[in-house]
Amino acid sequence: MRRARHSTTLLLLVASVVPVAAQQLDAKNWGQGTAGVELGIHEGPRQRSSKGTILWYNVIGKGFPDGIVYTLWRWIPDKSPEPLIKGVSFDKRGVLVCSGKPGYCSGDGPDDPINIKTSATLGEMKRLAVVSEDGKIVAFADAVPFPIEASDKGCKLSVVRMSALADTVIARATGLKGNQALTVTTSYGNEGATTKSNTSGPNGTWQEIVAARGTKQPSGKASISVSDGACTLCNIRLRSREQQAAIGIRPSSLHVTSRGDKSITNETLISC
Q: Do 193 and 236 belong to one domain?
A: yes
Residue 2 lies inside a defined structural domain of this protein: no
Q: What is the CATH number of the domain that holds 38?
A: 2.60.40
Convert the pLDDT of each residue in 44-61 to its tens digit: 999 998 888 999 999 999
Q: Do 127 and 40 belong to one domain?
A: yes
Q: Is the pLDDT of residue 245 over 60?
A: no
Q: Is the pLDDT of residue 261 over 60?
A: no
Write out the E strands in the chain.
Answer: 7-9, 38-43, 47-49, 52-62, 70-75, 82-90, 96-98, 112-113, 115-118, 126-132, 138-143, 148-152, 155-161, 168-174, 181-188, 194-199, 206-211, 221-227, 232-239, 268-271
Q: Do 130 and 34 belong to one domain?
A: yes
3-state secondary structure of 58: strand
Region 124-146 average pLDDT? 95
Q: Do 37 and 87 belong to one domain?
A: yes
Q: Do 39 and 131 belong to one domain?
A: yes
Q: What is the pLDDT of residue 258?
A: 19
Residue 202 lies inside a defined structural domain of this protein: yes
Q: What is the pLDDT of residue 26?
A: 85
Q: What is the pLDDT of residue 15?
A: 30
Convert the pLDDT of each residue in 190-242 to its tens digit: 777 788 899 999 999 999 988 876 655 666 677 888 888 888 886 566 555 44
Instruction: Count how many domains the chain has.
Output: 2
Residue 27 lies inside a defined structural domain of this protein: yes
Closest CA to 240 of 257, 264, 223, 258: 223
Convert the pLDDT of each residue in 73-96 to its tens digit: 999 888 999 999 999 999 999 999
Region 235-260 average pLDDT? 38
Q: Do 93 and 135 belong to one domain?
A: yes
Q: Do 14 and 110 belong to one domain?
A: yes
Euclidean distance between CA atoms 242 and 220, whole angstroms: 9
Q: What is the pLDDT of residue 181?
A: 93
Instruction: Give the residue numbers spanning the domain of 80.
Output: 7-143
Q: Do 94 and 115 belong to one domain?
A: yes
